Each structure stands twice: as structure tokens, then as C-alpha cells.
Chains A and B, each alone.
Chain A
Amino acid sequence: MKRVLAVALSLFLMLALAACGGGSGSVAPEGDDGTSTAAPAGGASEAAPAGGDEKDTLTWVQGADVTSLDPHVGKETPAVMVTCNIFDTLLGKDENGHPTPCLAESWESVDELTWTFKLRQDVTFHDGTPMTSADVKFSLERAIASAFVSYVVDFIDTVTADDEYTVTIKTKSPYGPILANLAVPFTAIVPKAAVEADEDAFVVNPIGTGAFKFVEWKQGDSIKLEANENYWGGAPATKNLVMRVVPEAAQRLIALENGETDLAYEIGPNDLSKVRDHANLELLEAPSLSVFYLTLNTQNAPFDNVKVRQAIRYAIDKPLIVDSMLYGSGEPADATIPPAAFGYSARSKVYDYNLELAKELMEEAGYADGFTCELSVNDNPTRVEICQVVQSQLKEIGINVEIQVLEFGSWIDQLGTGEHEMSFTGWTCSTADADYSYYSLFHSSQTGYPGNDAFLMDPKVDELVEKGRESANGDERQAAYDELEEYLGDLTPYTPIYYSNVNVGASSKVQNFVVDVNGYHRLHGVSVAG
């Protein structure tokens, strides 16, 4: 028996050695993921004999695996990073967040509850069946019925297929942001026939209309996609896509430096300068749709006092937090609406760091000697560190902050039930339409779990939020939001601190990559020089 073991062990050793020895020169042209360890310079001369040729495989690494490939279930960003390349939605968005044609080539608002959409007639699913109004009706109804994503589409009352390429959507009440919602990837159009035939097969072998076809999912490891040559928007620039899961941020950077990957999503804050300074790498950044802020429970003393809330805003040095804690990867925020969203108003009141003014306000509020309060936060290291900075800054005006770190579930429960005094939290304006943030964060019907954890209940705020929501006219909506933002300036239930950035580390050979503000990077036009 011992002899068998010895033979087995030596065999293993020999194989291992053989594998190490033969590695240096063999950059597989098919793009065997994870195996090409050659230095970038050596690899380049070998892989591009024709000169200026493009690689046929683009690899990217991301921090977490796809939860579900079903677009009406997998709503987490890591899932959508993949599925947004497989599926399309009725509408798209341009760089300013305005709706653009996608599967729907035109649309009109018939009355304040009714919208009709004309579909493109040249779209086929990856299995060859044409995309028609029946698929659209089926998909939207499926999304409404899915607990995971229904919150994006539950404004819809009915969807009807008027003819093969016309769809009418009736909303429950007048709903201005409809176009933005229909551009959210969770409203993706799926093939009715294939899903109805075998739903279990569909969710592990998704079929869409997107630029890339699904090939293989090795759970926890990788996903492979290949170009959809018949894509209605033109054939993709790269033939194969490979997504690899690399949970450690430091390892994602190493994989990028090593040439094991072409793109690395979500570079860690302390690695940003390394990518910026690297000769062969580029850091691509864009302000995201996420804002991070302190929420103050306006129902209880001392935060029911407007002056205290204003004092806190003056006391927080936002640029310092962005520079020191985020290594510059973000923007100081003056509002809860991200600038890239429709409805963002430039009329927000700006509270620049001003300790004198803050102290004065505290005195006027009757808290000249300050007070003690709890600041809760979930157990995310970056968030906790930011709270420590806030703690030291508020100490300057006499507020003695005790930080309370909670596990995510308990923290959500605390905010939802209003047991908090002050909490550090964030909000993503997923639809890139201000209504999504205003309605959830400020409307009195949304207090607690749904988002309004400042527990703000103000009739004028409600009225303006509803005005912005119900009009289908962009200018009218913007006017309502301008007025709202002016009114909120003094009321200040939240203390916005910063907008985070979406970042991607890229090899300098990557061309035409556009950073998506949601992190849903679409790779249709992206190529990698050989």
C-alpha cells in the first residue's frame, strides 16, 4: 500500500513540475482563462502576428458571482453585470440618463394613464424566434409577479398587445418616470415560448435578445458568453466574453497587472492610485447613482429640531472624507439625488464646512453644551471608518457620538422601525429618475422600511413629490423638483456626504469601454488590441 502511495505522490509531483515548466511561452490563442501567465510584452508580440489584430476573447473579473441568470430574479449588481449583455429592455438610456430607443423604437403617451410602444421588427431571440408584443406582455407580467423586481414595475396596471409589434401599457395612476423604469435591466424582455416550455431550463440557460449569447456558467467560478452575430444593433466587436469571479479586491488588481484579465470591476479604494500610476493600466471612473448620507430620525429630540440638523450639515467636512476615506474616488454631495439622474436640481442649498456657523446654530437650538447620541451603521469596514470620521467632526460642535455597529439584518430592522437616532446609510437611484429617490426617501407614505428612515412627514414635500411623479411632461416635473429641492434645503432631514464612483481597472489595450453609472457595463462595442 505504501508503494502505491509513493508512486501516486511522485506522479503528482512530476505532473506539477511539468505543468510549471511548460507555462512561460504558451499563451493559448483560444484564451484559456487564467492560464496565460506570460508578461504582457512577451504575450503581445506572440498573440498578434498580423499586427493590430484584436483579441477574440475579452475577460473581466468581478467581486461576486451571479446570483441568478433570470433577469426577473437576479437584481444584484454582480448578476446584472452579466445579464445586461444577454438581455435587452424596451428602452435604453443615453449618457445624460434620458430614455433612448432599444427594443421599442418609438413611444407616445396617449393620455395620462396610457402609453403605447412600437417595437422593432427585426429582433430575434438567441434561439431564432422573433421578438413580438406577446413576449413583451409576458415579460412585463412576469416581472410584476416576481417579488424580487416587482417594485420597479408595480406601477403598471395592464399590458396589452395591440398587434404583433405594438404594446399598450396602462398605469394604475399617472406615472411620469415610466420610461426610466422600463430601461432598468430587471424589466428585460424574455422569450415567452421558451420560458413557458421549460422555465427550469431557461433560468440556467438564459435566452435573450442581447448582444451576447449565454454559453456556460461554472458556479462560483466563471461565465462564458459568445457574440450574437445577428444582433439587431450590429455584431459585437469581440467574439467571446469570459467573466471570472475574484472575491478579493487585491487579487482582482493582481490578475489585471498580470494580464490574466482585461478588465477588473470594483477596484478597492486603497488600490486606486496603483492603477492610476501603472504604465499599462487605466482607471476608468464615473460618478455613480449612489449617494451616502446620515439619516436623522426627525421624530425624536434632538433631531426634530431643524437647527440641529443644519448645524450637523455645516459641521461635516465632506471633501475631507472623500479625499481621505475614498482616496478621491467620489464627489462631495449636496443633495440626495445624483447629478446623473433625471430631475436632479442645481438649486440644492449648499452647506460648506463652517464650524462657527454650526456652533451658532447649536446654541440657537438650545444645545450650546451639545448632547450625546447614537450613530448606527452596518458592519461594512469602509462605512464604519467613515462613521469614525463623522464622530470626530461632530465632537467639534459638542455632539458626542457613540458608534453602534450592527449586522446588516438588524440594522435594516432598526431603520425600518425607527429605533435609530442617527444612522449612516446609502441609496442608489436605480432608475436614474429622481422620483425613485424622492418618493422613497421623502414621501410620508414611505416611512420606515420603504426608505424614508428620517421619518419625514411634511404635506408640502408630499405634494411636490406627487406633482413630480404624476406629470408626463419633463419640464413640469423638473420645475416641481426644483421647488422641492429649494424647500428641502432648510428642512434637511438627511445629511448627504458623498456620491460614490463606479470604477473599472482596464488594460490599456481595451478600447471603447464606457463606464455605466449603475455598474451595468455593456460590452457590445468593446474590443481588446492583440
Chain B
Amino acid sequence: MYKYVLKRLLMMIPVLLGVTFLVYFILALSPGDPVRMILGEQASEESVQMLREELGLNDPIPVRYVRYLGGLLQGDLGTSYKNQLPVAPQVLERFPNTLILAMSGMLVALLVGTPLGILSAKKQYTLLDNATTVLGLVGVAMPTFWLGLLLVLLFSLHLGWFPSSGMGEGIGPLLKSLVLPAATLGTSCTASVMRMTRSSMLEVLRQDYIDTARAKGLKEGYITLHHMLKNALVPIVTVAGLQFGMLLGGSALTETIFSWPGLGRFMVDSIKSKDMPMVLGSAVFLAVVYSVVNLLVDILYAYIDPRIKSQYKK
């Protein structure tokens, strides 16, 4: 097991190299000069030259890339082009906010998606099943940004229950400000979790050991939780893990609508202004987090299914 984890951790090194390589060259080769983006339409030629020199942009791209990697090896994520502040603290300041939002979104998804999935699997082809399927599809299809605004209109403007935007300070206000963004973010994930739970449960539902359990006289609820769900859990956890990883990096829209000071919005802003160190810093950081989440999911398999655990030992 430890060997397996170690192997996976080592595999993160080529992954990170690949991420930095791709992001660096895509940004460096895309049209538009970062210096002119930063200084705007009215910059004088002297200022442009001055800043380009200051940021080291006169060197060839491969040289800059190697220099960046050199810094990265020493844990230096560089300095932002735009505000001249070190990148690492800015990324770290925003990451917890994204984490809180992603976890709440995931919680909503699991809380709603799993029970609905179980229910619709057990009542396959009934009205309930069809209704949840339709709801699920609507959830996936609904644009985040539209749903977010609708929720704000109803719950902030008309009912006044929750703040329309921002991140509250202190536990109470924080939870209150979390409800709408988490619901928005969770909706699309809910659908995937629900669909996966349903199909995975359906596979287990007709196994012989379920009939055996029933024949033993076990209660249906116990069978559902301990015999069906436990065996159906691996694909659900896989989907949930992937979704969670996506939420961490891909919640930029939700963060923008709700003015949530998270990493996704920050990254999009940085891409727009071609602030390479900021984009790279966030991308590297997110790649690490994503890899770790995936690793955790894989480790979780071992606890869910002992058969997989025995495989890790090899």
C-alpha cells in the first residue's frame, strides 16, 4: 500500500512538468503582449520597454521557461506581472475559499444525488424514476450562471433569506453566504452523482447475494445500505472524486456570479490579463491538489472494496 502511494506521488512529477510546459507555452505563444495588456491602451513606448526589461520578457521563451522551472524547484512560484506581489501567498489566500465552496457543492450533490439515485434504481421505470431522470437532465443542462441568478432573484431579492453575493465573515454569516453558491455549484454534480448511483445500484440489485440476504430475512433498509450501496459505491466514489476535482478548478462561473473570492475566478482574471506567473502558479497548485484528490479516491477504494486493497499490495 505505502509503495503504491509512493509510486503515485512520484508519478506526480511528470504530470506537473507536463502542466507547466503546456500552460507556459500556450500562454507564451498566444497573441498579445503581456506588457501592453498590463499597461493598457495608453502606455508610452518607454514604459513598455522598461517593464519588459523588468519582467525579463526580452529573453527567448525556452530560456524563460527553464528559469521558471528553476524557481519552481526551489518552491518559488514567482511574482505577479500585474501587481508585483509574490504569487504563492495570493494563491494560498484564495484556495481555502474555493475548497469551502467545492466541499459544500459536493455535499449538496451527495446529499441529494445519492438518495435520489438509490430511490430511482429501486423503483426502476416508475413515475418517480422518470421524474428524477428528467430532473437530473434539467440539472445538468441548466447553465450555472442562469441558475445562480434565478436563485439570487428568489432567495435574496424577493425573500431576503440569503445575501446575494460575497463571502460572510464568522461561522453564521459564512454558512448563510454559502447556501446559494453551494446549491448552484451542487446542482450539476447532483445529476451526475444521481445517474451514476442509479446505474451502479441497478447492476447490484439483481445479484444473487441480494436474494440470499432477503431470504435470510434481513430488513430491506439494511440490505439497501449494507449489501447494495456498499457494493455499488466504487463507481459512485470515482464519479464524485472526479467531480470534486473539477469543482476545485472549474467553479469560476459560480465564483463570479456570487463574488466568491476563490481560485477559479482569480485564474480566469489572470488569464485575461496574461499574468503568466499567476496563471502558472494557480495551475500548478490545482494540478497538485487534483492529483492528491485522485490519489485519495484510489486509497478510498481499498477501504470500500477489500479486493482492490489486495491488488495494491502487488
Contacts and interface: CB of A to CB of B under 8 A. Distances in A.
Interface stretch (A31-39, A112-120, A276-284, A493-501): A31-39
B176 A23 contact: yes
Contact of B83 (A23, A35, A68, A409): A68
Nearest to A219: B93
A35 B265 contact: no
Interface in A221-279: 221-222, 244-248, 250-251, 254-255, 257-258, 260
B50 interface: yes
A432 to B, nearest CB: 14
Contact of B39 (A68, A147, A250, A407): A147
Contacts of A19: 171-173, 175-176
Interface string B132-150: 0000000000000000010
A258 B259 contact: no
A147 B45 contact: no
A150 B50 contact: yes
A255 B165 contact: yes
B168 A449 contact: no
B78 interface: no
A441 to B, nearest CB: 10
Contacts of B54: 147
B1 interface: no
Interface in B156-199: 156-157, 160-173, 175-179
Given A220-B265, A409-B36, A68 B164 contact: no
Interface string A452-494: 0000000000000000000000000000000000000000000
Contacts of A38: 160
Contacts of B177: 34-35
A44 interface: no
B64 interface: no
B47 A254 contact: no
Contacts of B107: 9, 12
Contacts of A2: 225
A12 to B, nearest CB: 7
A413 B33 contact: yes
A451 interface: yes
B18 interface: no
A440 interface: yes
A73 B83 contact: yes
Nearest to A28: B173
Given A73-B83, A221-B259, A246-B166, A410 B32 contact: yes
Contacts, number: 185
Given A32-B173, A219-B93, A251 B83 contact: no
A245 B261 contact: yes
A24 B159 CA distance: 10
A23 B166 contact: no
A23 B46 CA distance: 55
Interface in B15-49: 30-34, 36-48
B259 A251 contact: yes
By CB atoms of chain A within 10 A, which of B107, B171, B259 has the most? B259
Contact of A409 (B161, B258, B261, B274): B274
Interface residues of A, number: 67
A220 B255 CA distance: 10
A244 B166 contact: yes
Interface stretch (A174-182, A306-314, A420-428): A420-428
A68 B85 contact: yes
Contacts of B36: 409, 412-413, 416, 449
B32 A407 contact: yes
B164 A24 contact: no
Secondary structure at the B interface, as helix, strand, loop or mixed, is helix
Nearest to A5: B110
B90 interface: yes
Given A16-B175, A221-B166, A67 B83 contact: yes
Given A413-B31, A413-B33, A413-B36, A147 B41 contact: no
By CB atoms of chain A within 10 A, which of B32, B41, B47, B161 has the most? B41
A221 B84 contact: no
A219 B90 contact: yes
A219 B94 contact: yes
Nearest to B258: A251
B44 A154 contact: yes
B51 interface: yes
A16 B39 CA distance: 45
Given A220-B262, A222-B166, A412-B32, A68 B47 contact: no
B13 interface: no
Nearest to B157: A254
Nearest to A21: B161
Interface in B43-65: 43-48, 50-51, 54
Contacts of A250: 149
Contacts of B90: 219
Given A19-B172, A251-B257, A74 B83 contact: yes
A29 B303 CA distance: 51
A70 interface: yes
Nearest to B82: A67
Contact of B156 (A68, A221, A254): A254
B47 A257 contact: no
B47 A221 contact: no
B111 interface: yes
B78 to A, nearest CB: 15
Contact of A407 (B31, B38, B48): B31
A257 B173 CA distance: 19
Contacts of B38: 148
B259 to A, nearest CB: 4
Nearest to A246: B259
B31 A35 contact: no
B256 interface: yes
B166 to A, nearest CB: 4
Interface string A425-445: 111101000000000100000
A108 B157 CA distance: 56
A7 interface: no
Contacts of B42: 151, 427-428, 430, 440, 451
A39 B157 contact: no
A346 interface: no
A245 B172 contact: no
By CB atoms of chain B within 10 A, which of A75, A251, A428 has the most? A251
Contacts of A67: 82-83
Interface of A: 1-2, 9, 12, 15-16, 18-20, 22-24, 32-35, 37-39, 64, 67-68, 70, 73-76, 147-148, 150-151, 154, 203-204, 218-222, 244-248, 250-251, 254-255, 257-258, 260, 407-410, 412-413, 416, 425-428, 430, 440, 449-451
6 nearest CB pairs, A to B: A409-B32, A220-B261, A147-B51, A221-B261, A34-B166, A147-B50
Given A204-B85, A260-B163, 4 more contacts: A15-B175, A24-B160, A258-B160, A260-B166
26 contacts: A9-B107, A16-B175, A19-B172, A20-B179, A35-B176, A68-B83, A76-B40, A150-B50, A151-B46, A218-B93, A221-B97, A246-B165, A246-B166, A248-B165, A251-B165, A254-B153, A255-B165, A258-B164, A408-B32, A409-B30, A409-B32, A412-B33, A425-B41, A426-B41, A440-B42, A449-B43
